[in-house]
Structure 1
Amino acid sequence: MEEQLPTTLNDKPKVLLVDDEESILNSLRRLLRGQPYEVLLASSGAQALEIMEQQSIDLVMTDARMPNMDGATLLARIHQLYPTTTRILLTGYADMPTIIKAINEGQIHRYISKPWNDEEMLLTLRQALAHQHSERERQRLEQLTRLQNDQLKSLNITLEKHVAARTAELQQTADMLDLAYEELKHSYVTGTEVFSLLANLRLPPAKQTNRQIIELVRVYCKLHGLDEGTSRDLTMAAALYNIGKLSWTDSMMTAPADLLHHNDRERYRGYPKQSESLLMTLDPMKDAARLILHHQERWDGSGFPDRLKGEAIPLGSRLLKLAVDFIELQRGLILERQMNSDEALVYIRSYAGRLYDPELVEDFIQVCAAYLSDVSLADPSVKVMTTREVAAGMILARNLNADNGMLLLNAGKVLNGPLVEKLIAFEAMEGAKYSIFVKVPEEVNGAILEAG
Structure 2
Amino acid sequence: MDALDVLLISERQESALFEQILLHSSNNVLATCVTSNEELQAYLAAKHPGCIIVDWQTEVVTPELFPRSLARSPHMQGTFLLALVYSPDQLHSAYRAGYHFVLTVEYTRATYYAISALVQLVQERWTLRQQLLHMEEALHAARQVELQWISVLERLMYQRIPESPMVAHFSRQSALWIAERLRTISPSYDVDFAQLELAARLYAIGRLQLGDAELRLPVARDGVPTTYGCSRVPESAAEALEALTEYPQTRRILMTMYENCDGTGFPHRLQGWQIPVGARILRVVVEYAELLWRDGYDPPQALSILQQLSHRIYDQRIVLLLDEYLAMTDSSNTDRLLLPLRVEHLVPGMVVGRDVVTVAGHKLVAQGTVLEASHIERIRNHHSLDPVLGAVYVLRTWDS
Q: Which has the higher contact order (CA 8 A, sep 6+)?
A: 2
TM-score by length of 1: 0.40
Q: What's the TM-score once normalised by structure 2's chain length? A: 0.45
Flag the structure with larger Rg. Answer: 2
Higher helix share: 1
